[in-house]
Amino acid sequence: MPPKFSKPTTPAPAPVSCVAAASTKLQRLCPDYEDDIDHNLRLTEKNAEERPLPDYLTKVQQDRVSESARASLVGWMDKFVRDHDLADGTLHHAVAYVDRVLSVRALTTDSGYELRLLGAAAIFVAAKYEDQKAVWKLKADQIARYGEFAAGKEVLDMECEMVEALGYQLGGPTAHTFLSHFMRYAEGEDKTKILPLATRLVDQSLLNYTCLRILPSLVAASAIFLARRTLNPPDVLAWNRELTELTGYNCSDMTACVLNMFFFSRSLICNPSS
């Protein structure tokens, strides 16, 4: 059954530093900058230049790319990232780059080759953004062989076109960014059980085209709610005052997103250890 929501009693949002200070379990890492970091992340995620169009498949691509083709590409990109043991966050940034490019530039063909080449170039850029060592770890020729492209130069050319289309703005926050931000004080089972399942849920959200309509911070908060609802005992609330203050979302804010994620990721939620 879909998760049930209790009637929220939402307090006025408190500064992140106040929430951190209120818990004896939390060890603050950058107390002087927490509020500024939180404010900047939330401001940036709402910047239109950092977000894809939620209807770009029809509006820009004019059905050259289907939702299933996009999902297949994301699956291929996920496998690439795992096979090459790339840094956490690489996949989310890479998928965001693909969605943003496809929101402003139409593909010239619907063969799938150009789409996969774009996905490969996005991983190349995201990997280097997340980890400077990726410059030595990942080469264009290596990507070309993995993706069965003609040559590494194709990857490099697409990389240049992609970065230009993105306006050289590569650091926009993703759902993975916000999940790490919200769970940065996790300890005990929150760290060993809740965080891994929430991470898998935000990863699966990348496959869901409808999630482009949802702010990354809301996707992350909803994943935490679902993970807590799935793994915690029935007598433990899936959401509480501290989480509301930390994320800025109450249960009613998350209802639509949680239900969307629940039905899209039902098999994972029903079998979280699989």
Domain shared by 58 and 160, yes or no? yes
Domain shared by 118 and 149, yes or no? yes
- How high is the pLDDT of residue 269? 67
For 70, the 3-state DSSP assignment is helix
Q: What single letter denotes the amino acid at residue 177?
A: T
Q: Considering only 6-10, 179-183, 251-255, which range has the smallest mean pLDDT?
A: 6-10
Domain shared by 136 and 188, yes or no? no
Domain of residue 89, residue span = 50-165
In a domain, 127, yes or no: yes
Domain shared by 249 and 209, yes or no? yes
In a domain, 120, yes or no: yes
Confidence of residue 132 (pLDDT cuts 50, 70, 90): confident
Cα-based angle 94, 96, 97 (whole degrees, multiple of 5)? 65
In a domain, 25, yes or no: no
Confidence of residue 1 (pLDDT cuts 50, 70, 90): low
Residues 6+ apart with CB under 8 A from 170: 93, 97, 125, 126, 129, 163
Which of 133, 165, 197 terminates a domain? The answer is 165
Distances (CA, A) of 19 to 6, 90, 187, 253: 22, 29, 16, 19
Classify residue 3 by its DSSP letter: P
Confidence of residue 14 (pLDDT cuts 50, 70, 90): very low
Which of 165, 190, 208 terminates a domain? The answer is 165
Domain shared by 114 and 77, yes or no? yes
Which of 132, 165, 198 terminates a domain? The answer is 165
Q: Is 50 exposed, middle or buried (0-12, 13-18, 19+ CB in 10 A)?
A: buried
Domain shared by 66 and 102, yes or no? yes
- How high is the pLDDT of residue 21? 40
Query: Is pLDDT larger for residue 29 or for residue 128?
Result: 128
- Residue 38, pLDDT > 60, answer yes
Domain shared by 228 and 209, yes or no? yes
Domain shared by 215 and 157, yes or no? no
Question: How many Å apart are CA 148 and CA 263, to the nearest integer?
Answer: 35
In a domain, 14, yes or no: no
Domain shared by 218 and 264, yes or no? yes
Note the pLDDT tens digit of each residue in 169-211: 999 999 999 999 999 887 888 888 999 999 999 999 999 999 9
In a domain, 258, yes or no: yes
In a domain, 74, yes or no: yes
Domains: count for the chain = 2
Residues 6+ apart with CB under 8 A from 250: 8, 10, 239, 244
Q: What is the mean pLDDT of residues 128-150?
A: 88
- Residue 10, pLDDT > 70, answer no
In a domain, 26, yes or no: no
Residue 92 in contact with residue 174, Cβ under 8 Å? yes
- How high is the pLDDT of residue 26? 41
- Residue 67, pLDDT > 50, answer yes
- How high is the pLDDT of residue 90? 96
For 93, the 3-state DSSP assignment is helix
Domain shared by 193 and 155, yes or no? no
What's the pTM? 0.86
Domain shared by 155 and 87, yes or no? yes
In a domain, 37, yes or no: no
Q: What is the mean pLDDT of residues 151-171?
A: 94
CATH of the domain at 70: 1.10.472.10
- Residue 22, pLDDT > 70, answer no
- Residue 9, pLDDT > 80, answer no
Query: Is pLDDT larger for residue 139 or for residue 34?
Result: 139
Q: What is the mean pLDDT of residues 31-37?
A: 77
Domain shared by 54 and 78, yes or no? yes
Q: What is the mean pLDDT of residues 218-243?
A: 94
